[in-house]
Structure 1
Amino acid sequence: MTDPFVPWIPLREPDAVQLHRAPAGPLTGLRLAVKDLFDVAGTPTGAGNPRWIETHGVPEADAEAVARLRAAGASLVGKTITDELAWSLNGSNAHYGTPENPAAPGRLPGGSSSGSASAVALGLADIGLGTDTGGSIRVPASYCGLFGLRPSHGRVPLDGVVPLSASFDTAGVITRDAETLRTASAALLGEPRRPAPIARILAPRDVWEAARTETRAVLAPAVERLASALGVAIDRAPLFEDADELERARVTYTTIQAYEAWQTHGAWIEASSPEFGPGVAARFANAARLTEDDRDRATRHRERVADLLGERLAGGAALALPAAPGPAPMLDQETHGGFDALDREAIVRLTCPAGLSGAPAVALPAGEVTGLPLGLQLVVSPGSDEALLEAAVAFAVHVRARR
């Protein structure tokens, strides 16, 4: 990685020889880029931090998610930069730089699956394998004008993947088109299910208020187009009875995520003294102070939120939300402190419902603000991933037909 704006982590020559020996399958001819949280046999897994490589051995087997995609015929062409230990939504890395966002030059690509999104957006890969804990597929997909799937929690095995927060971590894919997203996701999800199709769309006014005015103006027509593509009605009633409940949901999510992140990595951090970029360092420092009581209170509230979302999503409902509050921030916003905790909080208000309920979510390229991509996020009941993917294809076909 001599150039910080190239998303690749080079594979060793012996591994490169094997890259084009993929078996025939539904993904034959498609190039796969893998986020550097996933093990690839014979290649170090870096997790976005040099100290991680120094303190961990080279894996002998592919992560299960990688193995599934390669077994379906995808050709692995490289590993990609990730935000450190996947704990960021910006897409930058203090050690390896910031992958390019060709859809929004001079702006952040979104993280933590930044390198995978960049590789796909640049045309260097057709499928980007990433993880989504709190939006790490949906946000870069939105910023880079791509399609991205966060599967139902637990639907895709995470064997051979560096964890962050076990009760939220998922593995999914990013693509340039909906059909490839459906095909790649089918290979990743394993045994197919046949959930009922989406029967209505929920676009709750209270949650939409978490996005910027210009974002709402651009994406509202996209919800209409989606409803037309699916032949369903739109319900804009508030999701929560209490106006403060969305913020409480965000705090609940961040508390559980931080507690689990420290339980996962705290011992390694204390023993290995890794150097982190300022944002990641601050989050781990805060996480170290959380107690079991903090976790337990948040867990009880999470259960209430999950129950509410389960009720609202029952019967084939889909929750339509902006995938991010606005388009990709400028690169220098982060460098000069322009991107701060308030920006992160605004993103998590929109992404946390899926995580808290274990639901699948898809990001659809759905509009632009001053030429910058915006994504629409669609969330359905846990286990209904296939219905979500069919909706993504229907939306894409509808949009193409209108051009």
Structure 2
Amino acid sequence: MASSSANLWVMLGLGLAGILIMTRKLKKIIKPDFGAFIQKLQLLPPPQPAPPKAPNPLTSLTFAVSDLFDIEGFVTGFGNPDWVRTHDSAPKTASVVSTLVEGGATCVGKTIIDEMAYSVSGENKHYDTPTNPGAPDRVPGGSCSGAAVSVAANLVDFSIGVDTIGGVRLPAGFCGVIGFKSSHGAISHSGAVPLSTSLDSIGCFAKDPNVLRRAMHIMMQLPFSTQRNPRNIIIADDCFELVKYPVHRLTQPVIRSTEKLYGRQALRHENLGAYLLAKVPSLSNQKMNGEMNTSTLSQLGQAMQLIFRHEFKENHDEWMKSVKPDLGFRAGLQDGHGDGDIQKLYNIKNEMRIALNTLLKDDGILVIPTFADPPPKIGGKELASESYLSRLFSLQSIASLSGCCQVAVPLGNHKNLPVSVSLIAGPGCDRFLLDTLKNMYSSLQEQGDVVSVSNSTSNVISKETSADIAKEKGNQAFKEKQWPKAISFYTEAIKLNGNNATYYSNRAAVYLELNSFVQAEDDCTKAINLDKKNVKAYLRRGTAREMLGYYKEAIEDFRYALVLEPTNKRAAVTVERLKNLFQ
């Protein structure tokens, strides 16, 4: 009898332990830095030149670097602890990082990447997965996930990474920020871990197109020149056929912005697959289920992946054989390709460069979706789906194989998930693409908002009304304790009407539930700046500051809440408690 009783208690204990473990897994606590950083550090810029000389061009800006770039005195981690263990500290800082610091920016840390930058999800089993600020239950995208998250979470002004098969463009799209992939060879890779030498390009993340432009100009050391407008903005219709949400959500903002800024005559439509099939002789003419264009784009995606695997193996196979690290992607490296097969792939790559050069010249912009499917859920099965990956790599391969520059431009949300459109310019036309982005960005955001709140009869709802609708949805999600949804709805409301203090204060309440106290404090401060009499904002900021250890400031917030609302018992009790403890 005693034995049965003991067994019962053991079973109950195991059951409770299982429940606790599952609860922790289901409710992931968002870290103050959203898990973006693997290492905090500080590289300070040189002193400002004395007047009348102009200040350094990147003065007052902060940036982060993906854990692919060397920084003197630190081990470049490459997303893998075995790599860290078997490598020494870098003797010299990567040239692109040094250039940015010398330009006046302050480097504040290294950010997490996929393990050995090999995946596109942004997940890392060794260092955890950075939280996507706009969609916390979704992957941030990779390989440079932490760099994208650091910008999306307003932790830095910009960040840098390496884009090989979408490592900058994809996380930028998934996290709702701007992501710029430079032309192949446009920026020195000295001091960066090589992935696939013929595909690697340095890239940059930012929220503000002007910040992006300043950073890219310094990285590329571009001299002054006259700005040029595009003559042709070409919409690749067949690429948009891959998209799994309403196509007009992407194309209409581009069409309306082009007509407004450059005139209808600048717009063109192109069947890109058919064009490339005619211009890239090394591509197979074989149809796939009667869909030649889809087959052509799919072949490009496959070619890009095979080149990537071949060159990655050349760069790192010796280390992997000697160290034998535990790598989840090792099987993908076993695909054997003879010299003849590889040469065919390089032929496709060379012909792609010529074909895109011919199509775009020096005044054309190609428009494609940044990605075809919404960001997958963390731990979702999409990234194991051949059809999902085929659509994803088909779109990433266009700029990667041709060496073109590309910028991913956020266009808000669809069903509370980020959407993004990409602009591609010819190889070496980086300045032209940056200028085009500068001209079009505001219009694209405005038109994106218009399209997102249009009803089925195309009658546009006012932004204020749409913002209130989003807020009410956020309130409902809050009541149901669906924290990620609530954040998404309140963020949408803020994008539509950023002058409403309630939206910031409500989002702060969600951040408090998630123990994201830095974000809660920031939102409350914005709310207070907009409305000095917002009692809830003072109470919530006081709570956030107390949890962060800013007790003096917390007391001041609760006291001010009492001034505005003398009968507020919560504020009175908290002030007395904090006074007794810390004064």
- 1:137 is matched with which residue: 162, 168, 188? 168
Check if 1:311 corresponds to 2:361: no
Residue identity opposite 1:283 in structure 2: G
Residues 311-364 of structure 1, C-alpha deviations (whole Å, 9 max, x = no match):
11125111100111132111131xxx3421422221111111111111100011
Q: 2:374–2:418: 8 Å Cα contact kept in structure 1?
A: yes
Check if 1:234 corresponds to 2:264: no
**Structure 2 counterpart SS, 1:248:** helix
What fraction of aligned residue pairs are identical, expressed as a percent? 32
Check if 1:275 corresponds to 2:326: yes
**Pairing 1:148-227 to 2, within 5 Å after superposition:** 148-192=179-223, 194=225, 196-214=228-246, 216-227=247-258
Q: 2:299–2:394: 8 Å Cα contact kept in structure 1?
A: no
Q: Distance in 1 between matches of 2:235 and 2:115?
A: 33
**Pairing 1:238-387 to 2, within 5 Å after superposition:** 238-241=271-274, 242-243=292-293, 244-276=295-327, 278=328, 280-286=329-335, 289-333=336-380, 337-342=381-386, 343-387=388-432
Q: Distance in 2 between matches of 1:387 and 1:201?
A: 13
Q: Distance in 1 between matches of 2:73 and 2:120?
A: 29
**Structure 1 counterpart SS, 2:107:** strand
Deviation, structure 1 residue 192: 3.0
- 1:388 is matched with which residue: 425, 433, 443? 433
Q: Distance in 2 between matches of 1:69 and 1:315?
A: 27
Deviation, structure 1 residue 228: 3.2
Per mean C-alpha deviation after superposition, the further-off stretch among 390-399 and 320-329 is 390-399
Per mean C-alpha deviation after superposition, the further-off stretch among 124-133 and 388-397 is 388-397
Q: Which sections of structure 2, spanning at least 5 residues, go unmatched? A: 1-29, 49-54, 275-291, 450-583
Structure 2 match to 1:105: 136
Q: 2:44–2:101: 8 Å Cα contact kept in structure 1?
A: no
Check if 1:127 corresponds to 2:158: yes
Residues 199-218 of structure 1, C-alpha deviations (whole Å, 9 max, x = no match):
1111122222222243x231
Q: Structure 1 residues 20, 156: CA separation in 2 closer, same or farther (over 3 Å shift)?
A: closer
**Structure 2 counterpart SS, 1:390:** helix
Q: Distance in 2 between matches of 1:226 and 1:165?
A: 36
After superposition, the CA RMSD in angstroms is: 2.1
Q: Distance in 2 between matches of 1:159 and 1:21?
A: 21
**Structure 1 counterpart SS, 2:230:** coil
Deviation, structure 1 residue 38: 0.3
Deviation, structure 1 residue 383: 0.9
Structure 2 match to 1:62: 93
Deviation, structure 1 residue 374: 1.1
Structure 1 match to 2:121: 90
TM-score (ref. length: structure 2): 0.64
Q: Distance in 2 between matches of 1:182 and 1:124?
A: 19
Residue identity opposite 1:192 in structure 2: P
Q: Structure 1 residues 261, 193: CA separation in 2 closer, same or farther (over 3 Å shift)?
A: farther
Residue identity opposite 1:159 in structure 2: S
Deviation, structure 1 residue 5: 5.1
Kindly indicate whether structure 1 or structure 2 has the higher relative contact order, using CA contacts under 8 Å at least 6 residues apart. 1
Q: 1:199–1:315: 8 Å Cα contact kept in structure 2?
A: no
Q: Distance in 1 between matches of 2:362 and 2:432?
A: 12
Q: 1:178–1:392: 8 Å Cα contact kept in structure 2?
A: yes
Higher helix share: 2
Deviation, structure 1 residue 193: 6.8
Q: 1:229–1:395: 8 Å Cα contact kept in structure 2?
A: no
Q: Structure 1 residues 229, 255: CA separation in 2 closer, same or farther (over 3 Å shift)?
A: farther
Deviation, structure 1 residue 73: 0.8
Q: Distance in 2 between matches of 1:228 and 1:79?
A: 41
Residue identity opposite 2:348 in structure 1: H
Deviation, structure 1 residue 57: 1.1
**Structure 2 counterpart SS, 1:240:** helix
**Structure 2 counterpart SS, 1:139:** helix
Q: Distance in 1 between matches of 2:260 and 2:167?
A: 27
Residue identity opposite 1:87 in structure 2: Y
**Structure 1 counterpart SS, 2:311:** helix
Q: Structure 1 residues 309, 193: CA separation in 2 closer, same or farther (over 3 Å shift)?
A: farther
Q: Distance in 1 between matches of 2:257 and 2:310?
A: 37
**Structure 2 counterpart SS, 1:331:** coil
- 1:114 is matched with which residue: 135, 145, 155? 145
Residue identity opposite 2:255 in structure 1: E
Q: Distance in 2 between matches of 1:53 and 1:247?
A: 36
Q: Distance in 2 between matches of 1:193 and 1:47?
A: 36
Q: Distance in 1 between matches of 2:259 and 2:179?
A: 21
Q: Structure 1 residues 105, 229: CA separation in 2 closer, same or farther (over 3 Å shift)?
A: farther
Per mean C-alpha deviation after superposition, the further-off stretch among 349-358 and 191-200 is 191-200
Q: 2:239–2:369: 8 Å Cα contact kept in structure 1?
A: no
**Structure 1 counterpart SS, 2:383:** coil
Q: 1:249–1:305: 8 Å Cα contact kept in structure 2?
A: no
Q: Distance in 2 between matches of 1:198 and 1:138?
A: 22
Residue identity opposite 1:75 in structure 2: T
Larger radius of gyration: 2
Q: 2:44–2:105: 8 Å Cα contact kept in structure 1?
A: no
Per mean C-alpha deviation after superposition, the further-off stretch among 23-32 and 33-42 is 23-32
Q: Distance in 2 between matches of 1:19 and 1:43?
A: 16
Q: Structure 1 residues 70, 306: CA separation in 2 closer, same or farther (over 3 Å shift)?
A: same
Residues 134-178 of structure 1, C-alpha deviations (whole Å, 9 max, x = no match):
111111111111011100100000000001100010112100111
Q: Which sections of structure 1, spanning at least 5 residues, go unmatched? A: none
**Structure 2 counterpart SS, 1:260:** helix
Residue identity opposite 1:282 in structure 2: A
**Structure 2 counterpart SS, 1:10:** strand
Check if 1:35 corresponds to 2:80: no
Q: How many residues align?
A: 390
